[in-house]
Structure 1
Amino acid sequence: MIHQHGDAHEHDALSIGNSGAEVPEIGNREELGLTGVVGEPEQAEPNPELASSAGARLAKALGLDLELLGQSDSAGEGAASADESVSAGEPSGVGPASSAGSAGEPTGVGEPTGVVPNSHLSEADRVAQQWVADAELERRVAEIYAGIIARAPEHKVQPSLERVALALDLMGNPQDMYRAIHITGTNGKTSTSRMIEALLRERGLRTGRFTSPHLNSVRERISIDGHAIEAEDFVQAWEDVAPFIEMVDAKSAETGGPRMSFFEVFTVMAYQAFASAPVDVAVIEVGMGGRWDATNVVDADVAVLMPISHDHEKWLGYDLEDIADEKLGIVKEGATLVLAGQQPEIRSLARYRAGELRARVLDNLEVLSREVAVGGQLITVRTPAAVYEDVPLAMLGGYQAENAAVAITAVEAFFGGGALGADVVEHALMATTSPGRLEIVRNSPLVIVDAAHNPAGARATREALEEYFLGPRVAVFSAMADKNIEGILAELEPAFEYIVVTSMSTERAMDSAEIVEIAEDIFGEDRVRLEEDLLNAIAVAVDLAETADPDSVAPASVTVIGSIMLAADARALLRAPKVDGS
């Protein structure tokens, strides 16, 4: 419950959101991988009814596994892609078709032939037929995704908004059919985007959300009303934009220019999907930077600048003011700019740039108090419009309280600047989660995944771990080679008894032996272990954590940290729930 300006209310219990929901347990350490394998699905027994049904014959004709018919999807299915900036995970079992085709060649969704009319099917047949149809759609999604990521990544294409602007113009500018809130910054963008969207939905608006990268499925990137876009709608969005992508590619080639990048294509798809839904408002997270980011063709009412720190230095530079100036490029004439906590020089720069554009700046917001609660925290925040007291927030860490203050301020600004209703804020924030951000994926033993991949993010995670998880802690770590690994590990070291270095299946990852050398310099040789296989690394970390302090009353914990891709791999292995129903 929220109360403003002194309204009285007492909480019977400090329990927030869905903290009472059961978190699947690993069970015993053998299952975790000390003597066996965790995450390996049990073999499904063939269903005799299905085996003799028309649905089963249909499945066999399409080459599908009969034993899987009627079985629900694994909660943690997913395999990380080779490039964290492209993707952090794709559903296993629906990989690219043997011939993915060109990303400029739209094809229709394959329809199984010989399907018996639904009214004449048994229940088992209908289940089988729906399963087949869904599987075919997911195959098509994977095929489209494979074609898109075959394109150049954003940082390898000359910065320009021309290609995206031309494609959208040819399509009739679908991004102009709804209002938008545009978010940039170094850390906190995705969590804040999720809170903003939840607040907007609680006010009765239909929402779209575009974030990146993804953890479980590419469909997470495009969200409608808080749910990952349906496979059928993803396919439709591609087929809607594909002819125009092909036109822009051809026009660019005429002058020796590149094809549209993968992120440019995803952006165009998202803007089209939001128009088709249709949504009332889109919450748009930049991919990288701001001024030249593909998303920056949208004319947003509200721009949000999250905290600025060092990341992506290879492309954004090393000077914080230069990084901030690039990100401030999303602010439009006459818009409202909401500033999260910034260093003084960044705040001054933001005010100067906003003044040039006659944009209003909102930065008088702060977290007044926080209290740790089961499943999250109770926060009191001040925004330009009100003081919101004892707001239940179903996320961990002081940084998430700060993100919540930014989200509330952005939504206040979107609606003209007035205070939001107490019930709106309470219902939205107590139900919002951010997968892969201090996410508890197992309770026994306690395993957490976190996507922090720069020093500022690592610092925020360390502070939250020290506040919430008081027992012995062990880290499982890997990171991309272009990251400041020394800076990340220096921030993490005080919070962990040991660190277990592991590897990732991508050429962008730093070699694990090199990480070990850096870790030994920071932690000392006796606190560093190397285990290439992630599952085994988690098992080793669990053993270290549980034996580090036998007298500890607080439970030991393991945190998998260092990369979005690593977080995705761990979520898949430990069968974490799919993100946004994807």
Structure 2
Amino acid sequence: MTDTTIDLDVAEVERRLLARWPETRIAPSLERIRAVTDALGRPQRSYRSIHITGTNGKTSTARMVEAILLELGSTVGRFTSPHLTDIRERISIGGGLIPPDAFVRAYLDVLPAADAVDRGSATPLSFFEMTVAMAYQAFSTAGIDVAAVEVGMGGMWDATNVIDAEVAAILPIGLDHVDHLGPTRLDIAAEKAGIIKPGAFAVTARQTPEVEQLLRAHADAHLARLMVEGRDFGLRGRRASGGGQVISVDGLAGHYPEIPLSLHGRHQAYNAVVAIASVEALLEDAIPLDVLRRALGSARSPGRLEVLPGTPAVVLDAAHNPDGARALAAGLADLGHRPTVAVVAAMGDKDLAGMLAELEPVVTTMICTRNSSPRSLSAQDTGAAARAVLGSDRVVEIGHLGHALLEAVRTASALSEEGGAQVLVTGSVVTVGEARGLLGL
């Protein structure tokens, strides 16, 4: 019996995918993924697409794009990474996780082509390349109208970039993955500009002047139209509300007042602005106001300034670089100033000192721990970095994430008796995903 006919389940497929090169191991080439998608008949060309890059906010923006398109009546596929708790989160069809049987089918559809590429290449297909191919194949099989696709890392050499998106959305570009993308914002911007295709529409968030100039030069060289936040579209106003915020937006094609957005934080308002402009660019028309209000009023982005009700409240945020931590700190102000007990577990290849400097003003006590990833810093290493920023009296080290959560809840509960407190879990997508599991989500 061949490998393509045996019975598999999601867990076995995930085990096989994880046996490949991990997401953090990069070989900058589109040769392998292109060979696979060519063998599959180029499924990514059977639907329209919006391709999303940037340093932070990609997943939330993709989810908002998806929500708007679904409300417009389109059949939508969404590819995002990494996942929090279930590998199927990476591939959404029709607004929900890809069904288990469709996930397995996508793997089996891709496997023969992947095996052929592996046999002919010194570099085997990675975990990420396989999941991209599976997503594109699953979207084609489902007959979707539009895909919202999040870049994994960078843009030019990212496996998702075999898609010829009509719209390239570029969120703010900061410093992250510098070992792969380069040491400066301009280096990173050059990689991310690679998703702008000839003749396409490019929508960018506000960037530094140098980065905007680079993006414009790339767009001009490819006869693409570049639209810039702050000049061609933008956020007119916002106010925090109990369920998130209310925003008013000047879009590319229309003005949208008083839109409820069920996500917290000023950064999510700006992500929503890019999502709106991206959909307008795809439609080449305005979005009906009632559609936009329904879509963004019910949008969800788990693990991104996600507030779990209870006493004490628990806030989950996957910030893993200084820009993300800065947005998180500002977002906490929307929730009201209160004592905050932070549980932090970060990866060893991140700018932990930069993250801690951004969080210091909003954290009362920091509990330093680790997650299950072999890339995770130890509680002791994180604690040493935290003491250098916060001082010894505000830092606790606990080596197990579950025990750290329990201690954070206990500490915040004691502080709540004095007027309210909250628990914050941050530092990594892995940390937040594991915390969600421990909290029963």
Q: Is the TM-score greater than 0.5?
A: yes
| Superposed displacement of residue 550, structure 1 | 4.8
The equivalent residue for 1:108 is 6
Please tell me whether residue 379 in structure 1 is matched to residue 247 in structure 2. yes
Please tell me whether residue 284 in structure 1 is matched to residue 182 in structure 2. no
Q: How far does the alpha carbon of each residue in 1:147-204 deviate from its partner, in whole angstroms, 9 at most, with x for none?
A: 1111113553421111111111111111111111101110000000000011111111
The one of 219, 226, 234 aligned to 1:361? 226
Paired AA for residue 354 in structure 1: A
Paired AA for residue 466 in structure 1: A
- Shifted more, 538-547 versus 189-198: the winner is 538-547
| Superposed displacement of residue 243, structure 1 | 0.9
| Superposed displacement of residue 533, structure 1 | 2.0
Q: How far does the alpha carbon of each residue in 1:218-266 deviate from its partner, in whole angstroms, 9 at most, with x for none?
A: 11101001101000100111111111111111121xxxx1111111111
Please tell me whether residue 529 in structure 1 is matched to residue 396 in structure 2. yes
> Matches of 1:551 and 1:266 in 2, distance apart?
48
For the structure 1 residues 105 and 471, does the alpha-carbon distance in structure 2 shift closer, same or farther, using more than 3 Å as the test?
same
Check whether the contact 2:378–2:399 (CA below 8 A) recurs between aligned residues. no
Quick check: which has more Rg, 1 or 2? 1
Please tell me whether residue 149 in structure 1 is matched to residue 18 in structure 2. yes
The equivalent residue for 2:45 is 176
The equivalent residue for 2:353 is 486
Q: SS in structure 2 opposite 1:437?
A: coil
Q: SS in structure 2 opposite 1:443?
A: coil
> Matches of 1:259 and 1:247 in 2, distance apart?
10
Q: SS in structure 2 opposite 1:315?
A: helix
| Superposed displacement of residue 342, structure 1 | 1.1
The equivalent residue for 2:199 is 334
Select the structure with the greater relative contact order (CA < 8 A; seq sep ≥ 6): 1
> Matches of 1:154 and 1:107 in 2, distance apart?
27
| Superposed displacement of residue 551, structure 1 | 4.0
| Superposed displacement of residue 379, structure 1 | 0.6
Query: What does 1:30-109 align with in structure 2 at a 5 Å threshold?
Result: 105-109=3-7
The equivalent residue for 2:412 is 545
Please tell me whether residue 564 in structure 1 is matched to residue 432 in structure 2. no
Check whether the contact 1:441–1:574 (CA below 8 A) recurs between aligned residues. no
The equivalent residue for 1:414 is 282
Q: Percent identity?
A: 46
Q: Count the aligned residue pairs.
A: 437
User: TM-score, normalised to structure 1's length?
Assistant: 0.73
Paired AA for residue 503 in structure 1: R
Please tell me whether residue 194 in structure 1 is matched to residue 52 in structure 2. no
For the structure 1 residues 549 and 225, does the alpha-carbon distance in structure 2 shift closer, same or farther, using more than 3 Å as the test?
closer
Please tell me whether residue 508 in structure 1 is matched to residue 375 in structure 2. yes
Q: SS in structure 2 opposite 1:419?
A: coil
- Structure 1's unaligned 5+ residue stretches are 1-103, 111-139, 577-582
Check whether the contact 2:312–2:416 (CA below 8 A) recurs between aligned residues. no
> Matches of 1:143 and 1:106 in 2, distance apart?
13
The equivalent residue for 1:465 is 332
Q: How far does the alpha carbon of each residue in 1:519-546 deviate from its partner, in whole angstroms, 9 at most, with x for none?
A: 0010010000111222221222223334
The equivalent residue for 1:236 is 105
The equivalent residue for 2:260 is 392
Query: What does 1:193-342 align with in structure 2 at a 5 Å threshold?
Result: 193-252=62-121, 257-342=122-207
Q: SS in structure 2 opposite 1:215?
A: coil
User: TM-score, normalised to structure 2's length?
Assistant: 0.97
The equivalent residue for 1:11 is none
Check whether the contact 1:106–1:238 (CA below 8 A) recurs between aligned residues. no
- Structure 2's unaligned 5+ residue stretches are none
> Matches of 1:381 and 1:484 in 2, distance apart?
33
Check whether the contact 1:503–1:509 (CA below 8 A) recurs between aligned residues. yes
